Every structure is written in structure tokens, then in C-alpha cells.
Structure 1
Amino acid sequence: MIRTPLRPLARILEARQRGENPDAIERENKRIRHEQMRDAARQRAEGRLLVLGVFFFCAFAVVGGRMGLLATTEPTEPRAHAPGAVISATRADIIDRRGNILATNFETHALYAQPRHMVDPVAAAKGLVKVFPDLDEERLVKDFTGKRKFLWIKKKISPEQMQAVHDIGDPGLLFAPRDMRLYPNGTLAAHVMGGASYGKEGVHAAEVIGVAGVEKYFDDYLRDPANGGKPLQLSLDLTVQAASERVLYGGMKLMNAKGATSVLMDVQTGEIVSVVSLPSFDPNDRPRPAVQGDASDSPLFNRSVQGVYELGSAFKIFAAAQAVDLGLVTADTVIDTAGPMKVGGFRIGEFRNKNYGKLSVADIIVQSSNRGTGRLALQIGAGRQQDFLRSLGFFEATPFEIVEASGGKPLLPKRWTELSSVTISYGHGLSSSPMHLAAGYAAIANGGRKVAPTLIKQDAPQLGERVMSERAAAEARLMLRKVVKDGTASFAEVPGYQVGGKTGTADKPRPNGGYYTDKVIATFASIFPAHDPKYVLIVTLDEPVETSGPKPRRTAGWTAVPVAAEMIRRIAPLLGLRPTVEPVAEAVLTLTSNN
């Protein structure tokens, strides 16, 4: 603002000439100046009020919007004040096909210390050692009296332990609420569950993450808040799993085996209703991985998918089914199995040097003739054999939904020669897991369609591409049934459930090459009921020895078969299967005359 003089000289001179009082000019100019100053002050005040009004309007709009948002959302426990609130502590439950809890969360506490707030560090250390005997008192005293400001003492404690620490009464001992993963069934389905641990940790929360099994495979799903806590439903049946584990454990001990595994699979959906691997562990207290020795000796080793074995004569049915499918033979076609038989300069022998002579294709499977299946493999040819086994899934790891399954890739020959075709036809030269074998037998059982093993509950059949004709699958099922009725698996007969299957006994390979002469992998691959198969059951024993007779017996017919039979006897009613009378062929009626 430009100030004008109160007594401008020009106007004062003019006023004096006219005889007017010059002071009147000064008073008028003062009045005008005061009015200008008042107008400027009013404009400045009005501007400030406008800015203040806009600020209050925005503040009330934000508060009102927040209140409206809170009013329309679900009520939750306020945790924004906690430093660890950024860590999501929620993890979805895991349930079986009937809704039973397999894994859930449990509210507990962790114990930590702030040494600078301690009254008597030495007494606190002594008190903690009484509550937790595994703690080192000397180390605690050193930490409590040193320069450390914070240290974890126990990541998980029970309510009783929490109360005991409370009773110590030191203000430097504090508790942090958190969730822990709980497996209420203990060792049941341990290899499927795998286990969980803590990832990112804060004082007021900890991130629960999967470390193995289904917990790690579905870790993102289980931790995702967008799923609204919806549980992950598996195909396992808790009651069937419990019965399977009990029978298999008893069979493993009875047969003096070092390990065992079983797989129970629905032939239409691929659902794994039960899968067992022994020895087992408790996922609530998961042991540390072995750092030396044979990995298969560790209880963490999952024999059903990581155990890649030569499965022996259980493979023979694939050669017979493919030969029938290609139209090369029928079940009644006679094959000369007499020796000698040499392929690629190697002699092909029979178990205990038997000589079966001429056998039908069905009897080759019943008698488990190596030469018979070898001659079928030569008719099929290496290329077609590879294509068939590839279509059944024997060239890749199974898509089974646990992280360990990806490591169970079959071991294939470097060069697929005629000798490879012959040995693979009777289960040597190609190593695969029991889970692979279950998927292969499921294709035979369901009429020739590929099906992938899955841990997720299905609502409808999940049949894939056709890998063999219905006729070939039907003839293969009849052969498997005949093995139980007349062949090497006679102990598998379970009245009312018409079991069909094939035994397999393979010498166990040495770590440095060659094979043991007194150690085998014994397998029984079965389907039931054979006339209308619903399930495949694979039972494999590692180094079994049956000692009830004068000589030790290791073959699958004496070891794996009785265990599988007892398992079927126990679990078939749990699966809702009623015992039935086996259908028989209609008798041929001949009309005769009375004359």
C-alpha cells in the first residue's frame, strides 16, 4: 500500500491562499488512511477464516469417511498399536475329506527377556533353569548381565510354564502372544502334513510358515487372508489313515522290515485316501534332517514318493496289458518260456531257476515268469514300451501335492536297449516310487484311463487320456485276480472283497553298485474288488524277513501280501464297501430229451 502525505505541500499552499484551515486537510487524510488500514485488516482476517474453514471441512470429511468405513466392515481386534502387527499370524486349517481337523492354530506365548529391566538377573536365570531344564544357566547369566537389551528365551511355552515364569516375579521376563501350528493327531499322516515353523518374528506376532509336506506345498494358500480362513480339504480319510498306519506298523515289525510304505488310491478320481511311510515322526516336534548316513533311514524320508525302487514283478502286468492292447496276444495265447534265453549277451533266468515250459499269457502272470514277460517285451519293442510307460507317468515325478514328490523322479536306463526292455518288463532296470505304481495300476482298474494321484478332495471322476483299451484292462484285471486265486499272492484272499494283485520282489541295490543277496524290496500291488475295482492298494516293505518257518523267507508272497490282506480286511468296511459274493460265469445249459 502506497502511503500519501498527511499534509501535502501543494494542497496546504492552495488552502492558505483561499484562507482555509490546513489542519482540516490533515484530519481528512488521517481518516482516509485509517479506513484503508481497516479494510486491509478485514480482508486479511477473512482470508485466514476461509483457510481455517477449508481445513476443518477436510478434517471432518476424513473423520466422517473413516467412521463410515469402520461402520461397514466386520469388527476385528485392534492390533495397529503393536509393533509386530504387520506380521500376519493367521493360517488356515487343514481338514480331511470328512471335515476332521488335521492341522490347526493354537494360541500360545513366547518368553523373552529385557535384561536392563531385571531386578535380580542371577536369580531369574536360576528360576528359568528350574522351569526349563534344557537351558544353560551360565549362558543365561552371561546374557542377563551383559550388554544385550533383548533376547528370546523360548519361542513356545505351555500355560503351566507361563505361570511358573510368572512366579519368578522378575519384571524383565516378558511374554509375547503368538499362534503355533498344532497337529492334534500326532504322528498320524505326518509325512503328508510335513510340519510348520516360524518365519519372520516380532514381539507381538510371528509368521507361521510350512517347512515340508502339504504345509509347504500350499503355504501361499494357507497364509492368504483373501481366502477368509477357508480350510484346505484333503482327500485323506482320518479313520482309514489311522487303520492303515496301525496295520502297516504291525506288519513291518512282524516281518522284521526296516521300513514300509502303503498307498491307497481311488481309481476314478485319483484321490489318495491313505498314504503311510514308516518310520514316522511327530510334526509337532519335527526332528532335524540327517546330515550323515543313508537318507532312507531318517524318519523324515517319505518312502511313498521319495523311495525310488526297482519294484520287481509287480511291473509284469504292464507288459501283458500292452501286448493285449496291441493285439499281439490274448490272455490265452501260449508263450514258450523254456530256457535258455539270452538277450544282449545276458542270460534271462527264472526265480530259483524254474523252467515253466509253455504257458498262456495269463499263466505267465500267475507264475511270474521272467522269460515269459521278456518275450512279450521283445514283441512289443523298445519304442512302444517307452511310449506306454511314459503315458502311465513312469518318466516323470508324480504331481502329488507335497514338496517331496518332485524329488521322486524315476531312474531310467541311459540306453533303452533290447536287454533294457526285457528287464524292465519284469521290474528291473527302471526304478520308480510306490506312488507311480499306484497310478499305473489305477489305469488298469478304471478301464484304461490315466489318472493322476492327488491329495485334494474331488467331487467327480478325474479320468485323463486313454492309455489302453477297455478290453486290455479287463483282461489284465482277470489276470490279477487269478494271481490271488491260483498264484503267488494266495495269502491276499479276503472273503467278500475279491482282491486282485501282483507280487514283486526285487533285490536291493548296494550303494556302491551291485545287489545284496539277502536284502529285498517286497511289494504287493492290488486292486479291490477285482470284478468292479474301486481302489488300488500298494504295500512295500524294505528288507523284510519272515522267520516263522525253518528258513527265512523274503519274497513278497510271504511278507507284503499278508500285510496288504490284513489292511484290506480292516479298511474296506471303513470305505463303505460291503462284502459281496464274487460273480461267476454262467453255467452252460444243455437241453436233453427224455426220449
Structure 2
Amino acid sequence: MIRTPLRPLARILQARDRGEDTKAIEKENIRLRHEEMADQARMRAEGRLLVLGAAFFVAFLTIGMRMGALAGTVAEEPRAVANGNPIIGQRSDIVDRNGRIMATNLDTFSLYAHPQEMVDPTNAATQLAGIFPELDANELLEDFTGTRKFLWIRRQLSPEQMQKVHDIGSPGLLFGPREMRLYPNGPIASHILGGASYGREGVASAEVIGVAGVERQFDNFLRDPASEGAPLELSLDLTVQAATEEVLSGGMALMNAKGAASVLMDVHTGEIIAMASLPDFDPNNRPQVLLTGDQSDSPLFNRAVQGVYELGSTFKIFAIAQAMELGLLNADTMIDTKGPLTWGRFRIRDFSNYGDTLSATDIIVKSSNIGTARIAMQIGGARQRDFLGQLGFLEATPVEMIEAPSGAPLLPRQWSEISTMTISYGHGISTSPLHLAAGYASLLNGGTRVEPTLLRQHQPQSGERIVSERVSRSSREMLRAVVERGTASFGEVDGYNVGGKTGTADKPRENGGGYYDDKVISTFASVFPADNPQYVLIVTLDEPSENSSDKPRRTAGWTAVPVAAEMIRRVAPLLGLRPEIETLEPVGVTLTSN
């Protein structure tokens, strides 16, 4: 580095020779040196300011870009970080066949307490008991003033309740975000949906798990993140389900019944379009399970799936159809109906005297126990059992509900000859209404086996053949005759050819000591349209009594049939079935002139 000397000797010596002032030269040199140093300092400062400005520019540009990116994204709640397996809160929706919501999720809050942080525990306990009537102020105060450091108060809150708790102003009352399962339609399809509750819980989230119905059956699918929120699509039609339950509830009240059940099923796909059990419940506030007494008295009991009953004469069509399939008779074959039919100490009688003989069709129309029993004797017990097994009557239904296995049929210990006779007219075997719906669908859809399902199907089932199309058609014609001129005359619905069979069975006593004289299970198993079957409908009433006359009437023709007819009248248009209306002859008009 070249340094500029403070005293330039050459110039000073020259100046001395000329007699000039050398001090001025030295001062000038110092001045120039200071100016050079100032210029260098200024250049260094300007460079530093430039670098600092560039750094601030880059920083503000980065922050601006980040803020823009955040503004363009969807806001999300922060997730709590915890060790171990995370709690999966999201649960898929459940929808009907048309995509209408039947079960979904709702963001809400839980309420918990840190008693040690409370300023006035007495006031907090008193006000909480006022907001939530099910809470006891004394018990809360005992918990708040004890040794507990954490206390759940309410698993879920409404916005109004949350605001009231917030207004208490206690620092020890805290809220935690969570999801709750919501059933927007209340009790509609409650037995099918079942309900959900909380599993593992944390203050920031909770695990929603199914406890009954399809919520429990498909719990893994509904909770699986791999399903990416895809809804569970049921076969139900929400509109038809609501109409079914409304009519069934009215019929149950009108007929003074203890309970009721109905199943509406597509005969080709096996889809359950509507299924109801009364009394029902609201899955948003699911009642407790009965710990004592008869479980069938609980509103949680699904009579359509879990209830197994002797369904009476609705079984007679199976005996006739099997006999026709075996070539033992046809619709016009005359059968001996003289009675009573004696087997040991047992006497089989008809409701009234139908004469010495009846055709196979009239045995169904008039519902002759004697005639059906004689046909069953020709079939034999082994073949009868095999045929009912093909129809699914010997095991629990495969419907997708956690309760289905508990609805296994009650079969005789020994399939004796007397069992063969009584089973032919629906006594000595107990099955559920859903069993009966599947059996009728398999028999009447052309003769191929269908199994009931609660999942949306897109094509008919291709089950094994049970009976020929000819026998299936003859069976439908017989059932149509029952409505036209038999025990189900109240089942006629204008515009729809309804076919069906009534069944009235005495209820067995709880202690196994015979049957009640004044308590029955009345059932109407129907198909519509009978000439081109699309749906089967089963309506069952528990202990009905029609009391419009002096003497109570309990038979299915007076109780279950009118309820089923009104149900068909309401739901058939909803199902897209056009009524067949007879056109009137054109009225002649004569043109006259003045």
C-alpha cells in the first residue's frame, strides 16, 4: 500500500530554495489527506447502507409472499400434538339411497374443570346446576373442593350452554373442541342407525365410535381415514322411511298395540327400502340399556330384526308352493279339510267350518290349518326343513346390523311329524319379520333367493333358484285372491294390485306355560304389484286389539291389514309406482244447433 507522507520533502526543499512558507505546504497536504479519508469513510457507510437495505427488502418480500400464501389457503383448527396413537375424530357421513344425510358430524365443545384454579367454587357449582338440570350442585361442590385436579363436567355443549358457562366467569371452567355425532332426522330409522358414543377422550378431541346398528357394524369403515370421507350409502329411502314410521305409529295407536314392526324390501335386489320398529328412540339422546326385565320392552329393541315370533298363517304359502314345486298338487287340486285333524293328543282346527274339501287356492284364501297340515304331511318333515332352509328360515339373517345374530330363529328340538304340520301354518317356529320379508321376496320374485341388505345395490341379486317361475306366478295369484275375496279384503288399494297373506298367532306365556287367550301377534305379509312384483311389505303388530265393536277383534285381517294398506297407499307413489286406473268409456256427446 502506498502511503502519502505528511510532509512532502521534495516540495518543502524546493519551497525553501524559492523562499516560500513551508508550513502552508504541510497544512495543504494534511487537508488533502483528511479529505481522502472522509471520502473512503463515506463510501464504506454507503456500501453498508446498501447491503442493509437489500437485506430489509428481501425480508419484507419473503414475509409478504408468506402472508399472501396464508391468505389464499383454507383456515384449519390447530391440532394438538400428543404422544402415541392420535385420536381420530372425523367420522364419515351416513346417507340414504338418494344422498340425503342421515348421520353426520357437528363441531362442538366439551366442558371440563380445573378445581384448583377456581376462585369461587360454590358459585360455579350452583350456576352449573342451573344450566344443566341433570347435575347436582352439592356433588359438584364436593368435587370442586376436594383433591381432584381434573373433572369432566359435560362431554358436549350447545352454543347457548357454552355462552352461559362462559358468563359464569370462573377461570377453572375450560372448554375443549371436539366433534359430536348428529342425527338430523331425530328418531327416523333410529334402530337401523343405532347410535354412537365417545371412546378415547382428550381435552382437545374425542374418538367417536358406533355402539349399535350400522354405526357399529361399519365402524371401521366410518372411522378409516383411507375412505377419505366417503359416505356410507344405505339402501333406505328417507322419505319412504318417514312415511312408513308415521303410518305404523298411527296404526299402532289405533289398534292399541304394545309394539309394531314393518319391513319394505325390493324383491329383486334385496334392498331394504324402509324398516321400522316401535316404540323407537332418538339416537341423539340414546336411552340406557335395560338391566332387568324383558329386553323387548326397551325402545332399543329392534322388533323387525331381533324380535322372533310365531308368524302364523303367513307361512301357509310356503307349504303350498313347495307342494306345487314337488308336483304334489296344483292351484285347483282339492284337499281334504274335514276336521278336526287329530294327531295323538293334539287337535288341529280351522277358524270356522270350511266344508269337507277346498282347492289349494281356497286353502290360502280361507286360511285353512287342516288343509295346510295335510299338504305338509305329503311333503314330509325332511323336505319341509330343507325348503325353509333354502328360504333362510333356519339361521339369522345376514343383514348388515350388529344385532342380526341375536335374531336367530327358534326351531323345534325335534322336527317331528306334528312339528311338520304346525310349522306349515306358522306355529312351532319363531322367526323375525325380516326373515318373512326375505322369504316372500325369494318366493314371489320369480323364485330365486334374495338376501336382505341395507347397502345400496345397483343390480338384482343372482341367488339360487328356489321354485320355478310357474310356481312363483301361481303363488302370487293365490295371494292376490286372498285380498280380493279372502281374509285380507281390507288390504285392497285402488290402483295397485296388492297380494298378501294374513297371520294371527297366540303369544306364548313368558314362563313357557302355554299361550295367552287374549294376546296375539298379527301379521300381514304383502306384495305389490302382485302381477309384476316389485316390493314386499311385512307389517306386524304386538298385542293389537281393534275395539270399535262390542267384542275386541285381534285377527290380522282387522288389525295389521288396514295398517299395511294405508302404508302402501302412502309409499307406492313415493317409490315411483304408477297406479293402474281403469279408464271409463267415453261419454257420448250430441252436437245440437239452435
Q: Shorter-normalised TM-score: what interval?
A: 0.7 to 0.9
Deviation at 1:139, TM superposition (A): 1.4
Q: Counterpart amino acid of 1:348?
A: I
| CA distance in structure 1 between the partners assigned to 2:380 and 2:245 by the alignment | 41
The secondary structure found in structure 1 opposite 2:463 is coil
The residue number in structure 1 matching 2:374 is 375
Matched, 1:183 2:183: yes
The residue number in structure 1 matching 2:511 is 512
Q: Which runs of 5+ in 1 are unaligned?
A: 1-70, 584-595
Matched, 1:394 2:389: no
| CA distance in structure 2 between the partners assigned to 1:312 and 1:486 by the alignment | 20
Equivalent pair of 1:88/1:207 in contact (CA under 8 Å): yes
CA RMSD between the two structures: 1.9
Equivalent pair of 1:268/1:446 in contact (CA under 8 Å): yes
Equivalences for residues 511-590 of structure 1 within 5 A = 511-513=510-512, 514-581=514-581
The residue number in structure 2 matching 1:443 is 442
TM-score, L = length of structure 2? 0.84
Q: What does the per-residue CA deviation read over 1:30-80, in whole Å, with 9 as the maximum and x for residues that have no partner?
A: xxxxxxxxxxxxxxxxxxxxxxxxxxxxxxxxxxxxxxxxx9x99965414
| CA distance in structure 2 between the partners assigned to 1:162 and 1:76 by the alignment | 21
Matched, 1:158 2:158: yes
| CA distance in structure 2 between the partners assigned to 1:120 and 1:82 by the alignment | 32
| CA distance in structure 2 between the partners assigned to 1:389 and 1:259 by the alignment | 27
Q: What does the per-residue CA deviation read over 1:240-284, in whole Å, with 9 as the maximum and x for residues that have no partner?
A: 001000000000000010100000000000000000000010000
Q: Counterpart amino acid of 2:88?
A: S
The secondary structure found in structure 1 opposite 2:358 is strand
The residue number in structure 1 matching 2:319 is 319
Matched, 1:452 2:451: yes
| CA distance in structure 1 between the partners assigned to 2:121 and 2:339 by the alignment | 84
**Structure-2 change in CA distance of 1:154 and 1:77 (3 Å):** closer
Deviation at 1:556, TM superposition (A): 0.2
**Structure-2 change in CA distance of 1:85 and 1:128 (3 Å):** farther
Equivalences for residues 231-310 of structure 1 within 5 A = 231-310=231-310
| CA distance in structure 2 between the partners assigned to 1:350 and 1:497 by the alignment | 31
The residue number in structure 2 matching 1:422 is 421
Deviation at 1:357, TM superposition (A): 1.6
The residue number in structure 2 matching 1:403 is 402
Count of residue pairs brought into register by the alignment: 513
Q: Counterpart amino acid of 1:417?
A: S
Deviation at 1:297, TM superposition (A): 1.3
Equivalent pair of 1:356/1:369 in contact (CA under 8 Å): no
Q: Counterpart amino acid of 1:176?
A: G
Deviation at 1:444, TM superposition (A): 1.9
Equivalent pair of 1:392/1:439 in contact (CA under 8 Å): yes
| CA distance in structure 2 between the partners assigned to 1:78 and 1:122 by the alignment | 34
Q: What does the per-residue CA deviation read over 1:184-206, in whole Å, with 9 as the maximum and x for residues that have no partner?
A: 00010000011100011111110
Q: Counterpart amino acid of 1:137?
A: A
Q: Counterpart amino acid of 1:400?
A: V
Q: Segments of 4+ in structure 1 off by > 2 A?
A: 73-78, 80-85
The residue number in structure 2 matching 1:62 is none
Deviation at 1:130, TM superposition (A): 2.1
Equivalent pair of 2:443/2:466 in contact (CA under 8 Å): no
Q: Counterpart amino acid of 1:442?
A: A
Equivalent pair of 2:304/2:432 in contact (CA under 8 Å): yes
| CA distance in structure 2 between the partners assigned to 1:398 and 1:346 by the alignment | 32
| CA distance in structure 2 between the partners assigned to 1:365 and 1:460 by the alignment | 33
Higher mean C-alpha displacement, 120-129 vs 565-574: 120-129
The secondary structure found in structure 2 opposite 1:403 is coil
The secondary structure found in structure 1 opposite 2:470 is helix
**Structure-2 change in CA distance of 1:582 and 1:335 (3 Å):** farther
| CA distance in structure 1 between the partners assigned to 2:446 and 2:403 by the alignment | 30
**Structure-2 change in CA distance of 1:155 and 1:75 (3 Å):** closer
The residue number in structure 1 matching 2:16 is none
| CA distance in structure 2 between the partners assigned to 1:270 and 1:125 by the alignment | 55
| CA distance in structure 2 between the partners assigned to 1:321 and 1:356 by the alignment | 23
Equivalences for residues 21-170 of structure 1 within 5 A = 77-81=77-81, 86-170=86-170
The residue number in structure 2 matching 1:487 is 486
Equivalent pair of 2:340/2:370 in contact (CA under 8 Å): no
Q: Counterpart amino acid of 1:441?
A: Y
The residue number in structure 2 matching 1:44 is none
The residue number in structure 2 matching 1:23 is none
Q: What does the per-residue CA deviation read over 1:104-150, in whole Å, with 9 as the maximum and x for residues that have no partner?
A: 00111110001111122222212212222221111111111111110
| CA distance in structure 2 between the partners assigned to 1:524 and 1:304 by the alignment | 13
Equivalent pair of 2:95/2:232 in contact (CA under 8 Å): yes
Equivalences for residues 189-204 of structure 1 within 5 A = 189-204=189-204
Q: Counterpart amino acid of 1:93?
A: D
The residue number in structure 1 matching 2:470 is 471
**Structure-2 change in CA distance of 1:559 and 1:475 (3 Å):** same
Identity %: 67
The secondary structure found in structure 2 opposite 1:328 is coil
Deviation at 1:309, TM superposition (A): 0.2
The secondary structure found in structure 1 opposite 2:524 is strand
Deviation at 1:386, TM superposition (A): 0.5
Higher mean C-alpha displacement, 573-582 vs 83-92: 83-92
The residue number in structure 2 matching 1:210 is 210
Equivalent pair of 1:84/1:205 in contact (CA under 8 Å): no
Equivalent pair of 2:369/2:425 in contact (CA under 8 Å): yes
Q: What does the per-residue CA deviation read over 1:279-302, in whole Å, with 9 as the maximum and x for residues that have no partner?
A: 010000000011222221111110
The secondary structure found in structure 2 opposite 1:215 is helix
| CA distance in structure 1 between the partners assigned to 2:183 and 2:156 by the alignment | 15
Deviation at 1:347, TM superposition (A): 1.8
| CA distance in structure 1 between the partners assigned to 2:258 and 2:345 by the alignment | 36
Q: Counterpart amino acid of 1:271?
A: E
